[in-house]
């Protein structure tokens, strides 16, 4: 039997399914002569297709740039060539997420009966986010709720859906692990929601994702950093927030290729955000020959970091990467400078908040972080949103509010286009694959997994001010940021 | 029933194909003389079945239990006997898995809302708040003697039905990378778990030991080598075949098997499986049934022949694609077919198949197939 199984090797043209071959073969061979001609031609075509299919399958080609010049094929996740797993040793047998059919869906949702707006009082949209003030993630969840609510209210001011208002069905994502796992079931069976937005915590988002594979409710994920939420081939989730993959690539390039640092230490918060967050940075550093010297953790409620900083100091690092939140990062900066540690410090996007500066004061000078958006942009779309948000919530909009506002607008537009049918709403979301979307948070670009892979924004504290600039990776060869796609 | 054979030959290919044909002649002849599932009876809203997805199906002697988006269906003698919903006491609307305790006749039901036991015409429910159940999103349930094993989104539970004692296994006491458990396959001395993000885990109750089987390349975005080990860590189901001492694991990234010594992986580009997105797998004898989102694919491990069953959306008839080990394909038509091409689960009743699809339950009946 083993021989028989191995006989599959080379029997099929590369990149062709048996079904495709069958379809090809099934064509018009009415006579014996034609059968032979068709078959011979099919073999040649299959062989040629096989030769050509390998590059065609392993790389997706984005549209031509504004100048009409076709850019180079895109790698999965905008990955630097040097960061490709096993890239220096072997070409993988198969690569995922780079084919237009990555999220192909053959289920029955599209043929479900449409909802009739005449029979509905409201068009319900589910919301799952951390809202309780005792929840560590609640500042992000509350901002996400505010952004979502603004988009809903604006849509209702424009007439809602066929005259019926959209309504947000709000569910609190509880801090106890798994406690909110029934939220999506409630949205489907009790709220009769047509789609949902959420959450911040990647575990909760994964739970939603697994449940929606069965319950088939479109999810707009506007806040999770975890890049694995779009690595499941489940077509029901769209993600518009810069994930840890993009953040990790940007930081690794900046630290190792631009600043030429060599001895990096990592200090991460010991929760899922910290654990999964730094992994892309860590792997990229390792693959590019810059294995981090030391990696230490801290509890989410820590205030004294002397033990961790002592370890880092003794390791002789020439730079520190913190994967955590702004409050702890502020304390870390203050304490490490007091210990005489002058190394440059870099951080993940959750550190890019005013708290880091207010807590660390002058010790924050020079800190470089990823920022999900550039709040100093002057374009009218951002400025209008900023003014409206400030007037309503008496606070500057952060990234979580901005991406939620954009995500909700994408969702509402999909409903307007598709009608009250969850399968077709998912189809409408999938129309964003390999396309750019311009929102208040800036320009994002969705790949074949419906994940945002646009370049990120960098931030540095200079003279007590947050200074922003677009990421410019060295593997782009000095070409403009837009070329990265 | 109609058959269209296809041929492809050129002078050099003909020689190679003839050699392969001679080697596999016995197997091919056996396949040509075999039976196929060309007769299908479907259960849909048209004959009293609930609308929407059928997530699971379980055969209990002459009875068939089907878990749907909104309730548990009992079929007897080819008709819907009863649809149980939350109004009848079921723990949740969506029913993901059903297991029958052959000793007691109790029916255990995994729902998105907790675990239910149907016994003596009454439901008893177990939830996170009322029992030791790890989480109310329950994906799988299986019975092993006095134990009921439960796959939840927060790990695995074991309920001792004699003492009522609950045990929980998760990342704190077992090698789970993630605790999200999907499916369970029980054998006499092992329990296999399909774990989303953690591959396949097996548990040896006698020695209280766990063994993980995971994707050796450790990367979500690639398969490094063809038969590298488990093809991907996002595993949707697992099925142990005691006859071949092989477990099969379905993923949304292809199909894997492990016989204790060798791994074999199957993708559309190197086998006859119709889709890499495999919702579930079940194996018995020399049959492996892959429930994919594009149809139902069967691998006959004796002949290394794949047979895929699909409805033809244009004609409403059935399409059967037989793919031989040498790559030769045959297309066969059938007048009846599966209720939908999106297949979620399968169960065996003698030679008959019961297939859970996105839009109804299908009963497949084996019919002699004669090449025309």
Whether the link from the prior residue into A237 is cis, omega within 30° of 0, is no
- Chain A residues lying within 8 Å of B224, measured CB to CB: 86, 90, 92-93
Prediction pTM value: 0.87
Which residue of A97, A216, A233 is in closest CB contact with B277? A233
The predicted structure's pLDDT at residue A181: 87
Residue A424 has pLDDT above 70, yes or no: yes
pLDDT in tens, B245-267: 999 999 999 999 999 999 999 99
Q: What is the pLDDT of residues B104-124, one digit of tens each?
A: 999 999 999 999 999 999 999
Q: How confident is the model at residue A55 (pLDDT cuts 50, 70, 90)?
A: very low
Mean pLDDT score, B217-225:
96
Q: In this predicted model, what pLDDT tens digit does every residue of A397-420 receive, in sequence order?
A: 999 999 999 999 999 999 999 999
Model confidence at B21: pLDDT above 70? no
Is the pLDDT confidence value at A42 over 70? no
Contact A11, A17 (CB under 8 A): no
A245-371+458-484 shares the fold of A109-241+378-437: yes
Is A33's pLDDT higher than 70? Answer: no
Q: Where are the domains of chain A?
A: 1-57, 109-241+378-437, 245-371+458-484
- Give the model's pLDDT for residue B318: 98
pLDDT-derived band at A483 (thresholds 50, 70, 90) equals: low
Residue A296: pLDDT band (50, 70, 90) is very high
Q: Which CATH architecture has domain A109-241+378-437?
A: 3-Layer(aba) Sandwich (3.40)
- Indicate yes or no: CB of A178 within 8 angstroms of CB of B221: no
Closest partner residue to B358 (CB to CB) among A12, A26, A108 is A108
CB proximity A24 to B under 8 Å? no
Q: Please report the pLDDT score of residue A72 as a whole number.
A: 52
B264:A4 CB<8 A: no
Mean pLDDT of A42-58: 36
Q: Is A235 on the interface with B (CB under 8 A)?
A: no
pLDDT tens across A253-274, in order? 999 999 999 999 999 999 889 9
Of A19-33, A295-309, B33-47, B266-280, which gets the smallest average pLDDT? A19-33
Least confident among A62-76, A101-115, A234-248: A62-76
Q: Does B30 score more than 50 pLDDT?
A: no
At residue A434, the 3 state secondary structure works out as: coil
Is the Cβ of A32 closer than 8 Å to some Cβ of chain B?
A: no
Which of A11-15, B16-20, B98-102 shows the lowest per-residue confidence on average (mean pLDDT)? Answer: A11-15
> Does the pLDDT of residue A393 top 90, yes or no?
yes
DSSP for A133-191, please give it.
TTSTTHHHHHHHHHHHHHHHHHHHHTTTBTTBPEEEEEEE--SSTTTTTTHHHHHHHTS
Res A6: pLDDT: 30
- Select the residue from A6, A15, A17, A112 to test the B interface by mutation, using most B Cβ atoms within 10 A: A17
CATH class of B31-368: mainly beta
Q: Does the distance separating the beta carbons of B6 and A9 come in below 8 Å?
A: no
Q: What is the mean pLDDT of residues A125-132?
A: 97
pLDDT value at A5 more than 80: no
Looking only at the bridges linking them, the beta strands covering A264-269 and B263-266 are unpaired
- Residue A91 at interface with chain B, using a CB cutoff of 8 Å: no
Q: Taking residues B147-173, what's their average pLDDT?
A: 97
pLDDT tens, residue by residue, B73-95: 999 999 999 999 999 999 999 99
pLDDT at res. B282: 98
Residues of A in contact with B180 (CB under 8 A): 206-207, 210
What pLDDT, on a 0 to 100 scale, did the predictor assign at position B9?
Answer: 40
Q: Rounded distance, CA A237 to CA B105, Å?
A: 40
pLDDT category at A305 given cuts 50, 70, 90 is very high
Q: Taking residues A127-131, what's their average pLDDT? A: 97
Q: Taking CB atoms and an 8 Å limit, are A5 and B264 in contact across chains?
A: yes
Among the partner-chain residues A38, A97, A215, the one whose CB lies closest to the CB of B221 is: A97
- Domain coordinates in residue numbering, chain B: 31-368
Local confidence band at B312 (pLDDT 50, 70, 90 cut-offs): very high
Chain A, nearest residue to B306 by Cα: A18
Q: Report yes or no: A43 at the B interface, CB cutoff 8 Å.
A: yes
CB B157 within 8 A of CB B149: yes
A83-116 confidence digits (pLDDT tens):
999 998 999 999 999 999 999 999 999 999 999 9
Looking at residue B243, what is its pLDDT? 96
The residue-averaged pLDDT of A31-52 equals 39
Q: Which pLDDT score, from 0 to 100, does residue A476 have?
A: 85
- pLDDT category of residue A374 using cuts at 50, 70 and 90: very high
Confidence of residue A36 (pLDDT cuts 50, 70, 90): very low
- Yes or no, beta carbons of A35 and B340 under 8 Å apart: no
What is the CATH code of the structural domain delimited by A245-371+458-484? 3.40.50.2300
The pLDDT mean for chain A works out to: 86
Q: Are B362 and B41 in contact (CB under 8 A)?
A: yes
pLDDT of A379 strictly over 60: yes
What's the gap in Å between the CA of A219 and the closest CA on chain B? 18
**pLDDT above 90 (res B157):** yes
> Are the beta carbons of B69 and A215 separated by less than 8 Å?
yes
Instruction: Report d(CA A77, CA A451) in Å as an integer.
Output: 8
Cβ-proximal residues to B111 (8 Å cutoff; 6+ apart), any chain: B67, B90, B91, B92, B93, B94, B95, B96, B138
Residues B257, A41: Cα–Cα separation, whole Å: 36
């Amino acid at each position: 039997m083993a021989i028989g199984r191995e006989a599959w090797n080379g029997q099929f043209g590369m990149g062709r399914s048996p079904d495709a071959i069958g379809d090809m073969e099934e064509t018009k061979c009415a006579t014996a002569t034609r059968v032979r001609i068709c078959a011979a031609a099919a073999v040649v075509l299959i062989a040629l297709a096989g030769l050509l299919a390998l590059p065609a399958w392993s790389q997706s080609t984005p549209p031509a740039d504004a100048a009409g010049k076709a850019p180079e094929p895109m790698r999965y996740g905008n990955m630097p060539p040097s960061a490709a797993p096993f890239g220096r040793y072997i070409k993988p047998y198969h690569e995922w997420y780079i084919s237009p059919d990555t999220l192909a869906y053959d289920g029955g949702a599209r043929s479900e009966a449409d909802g009739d707006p005449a029979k509905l009082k409201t068009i319900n949209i589910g919301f799952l986010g951390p809202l309780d003030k005792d929840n560590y993630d609640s500042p992000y969840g509350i901002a996400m709720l505010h952004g979502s609510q603004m988009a809903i209210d604006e849509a209702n001011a424009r007439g809602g859906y066929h005259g019926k208002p959209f309504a947000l069905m709000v569910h609190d994502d509880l801090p106890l692990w798994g406690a909110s796992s029934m939220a999506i079931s409630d949205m489907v069976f009790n709220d009769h929601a047509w789609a949902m937005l959420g959450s911040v915590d990647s575990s909760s988002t994964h739970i939603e994702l697994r449940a929606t594979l069965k319950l088939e409710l479109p999810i707009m994920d506007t806040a999770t950093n975890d890049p694995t939420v779009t690595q499941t081939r489940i077509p029901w989730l769209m993600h518009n927030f810069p994930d840890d993959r993009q953040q990790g690539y940007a930081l690794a390039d900046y630290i190792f290729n631009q600043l030429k640092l060599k001895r990096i230490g990592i200090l991460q918060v010991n929760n899922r955000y910290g654990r999964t967050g730094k992994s892309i940075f860590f792997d990229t550093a390792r693959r590019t020959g810059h294995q981090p010297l030391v990696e230490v953790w801290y509890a989410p409620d820590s205030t004294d970091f002397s033990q961790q900083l002592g370890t880092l100091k003794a390791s002789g690092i020439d730079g520190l990467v913190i994967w955590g939140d702004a409050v702890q990062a502020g304390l870390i900066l203050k304490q490490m400078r007091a210990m005489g540690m002058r190394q440059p410090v870099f951080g993940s996007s959750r550190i890019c908040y005013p708290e880091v500066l207010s807590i660390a004061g002058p010790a924050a000078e020079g800190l470089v972080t990823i920022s999900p958006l550039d709040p100093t942009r002057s374009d009218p779309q951002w400025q209008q949103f900023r003014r409206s948000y400030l007037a309503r919530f008496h606070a500057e909009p952060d990234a979580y509010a901005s991406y939620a506002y954009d995500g909700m607008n994408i969702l509402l537009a999909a409903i307007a286009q598709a009608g009250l049918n969850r399968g077709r709403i998912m189809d409408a979301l999938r129309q964003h694959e390999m396309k750019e979307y311009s929102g208040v948070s800036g320009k994002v670009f969705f790949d074949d997994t419906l994940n945002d892979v646009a370049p990120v924004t960098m931030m540095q504290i200079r003279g007590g001010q947050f200074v922003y600039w677009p990421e410019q990776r060295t593997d782009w060869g000095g070409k403009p940021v837009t070329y990265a796609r | 029933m109609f058959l269209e054979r296809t041929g492809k030959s050129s002078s050099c290919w003909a020689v190679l194909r003839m050699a392969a044909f001679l080697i596999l002649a016995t197997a091919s002849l056996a396949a040509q003389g075999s039976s196929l599932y060309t007769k299908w009876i479907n259960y849909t809203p048209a004959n009293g079945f609930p609308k929407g997805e059928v997530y699971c199906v379980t055969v209990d002697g002459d009875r068939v239990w089907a878990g749907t988006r909104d309730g548990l269906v009992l079929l007897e003698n080819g008709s819907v006997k009863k649809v149980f919903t939350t109004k009848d006491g079921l723990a949740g609307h969506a029913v993901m898995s059903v297991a029958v305790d052959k000793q007691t006749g109790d029916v255990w039901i995994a729902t998105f809302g907790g675990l239910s036991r149907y016994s003596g015409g009454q439901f008893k429910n177990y939830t996170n708040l009322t029992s030791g159940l790890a989480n109310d999103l329950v994906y799988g349930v299986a019975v092993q003697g006095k134990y009921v094993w439960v796959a939840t989104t927060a790990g695995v539970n074991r309920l001792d039905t004699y003492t009522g004692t609950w045990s929980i296994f998760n990342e704190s006491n077992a090698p789970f990378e993630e605790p999200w458990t999907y499916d369970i396959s029980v054998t006499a001395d092992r329990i296999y778990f399909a774990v989303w993000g953690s591959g396949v885990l097996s548990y040896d109750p006698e020695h209280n030991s766990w063994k993980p089987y995971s994707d050796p390349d450790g990367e979500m975005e690639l398969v490094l080598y063809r038969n590298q080990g488990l093809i991907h860590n996002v595993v949707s189901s697992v099925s142990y075949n005691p006859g071949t001492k092989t477990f099969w694991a379905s993923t949304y990234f292809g199909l894997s098997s492990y016989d204790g010594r060798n791994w074999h992986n199957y993708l559309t580009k190197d086998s006859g499986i119709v889709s890499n997105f495999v919702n579930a797998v079940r194996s018995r004898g020399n049959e492996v049934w892959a429930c994919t989102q594009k149809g139902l694919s069967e691998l006959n491990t004796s002949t290394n022949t794949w047979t895929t069953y699909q409805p033809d959306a244009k004609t409403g008839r059935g399409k059967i694609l037989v793919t031989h080990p040498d790559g030769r394909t045959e297309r066969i038509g059938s007048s009846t077919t599966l209720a939908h091409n999106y297949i979620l689960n399968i169960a065996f009743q003698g030679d008959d198949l019961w297939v859970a699809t996105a839009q109804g339950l299908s009963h497949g009946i084996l019919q002699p197939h004669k090449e025309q």
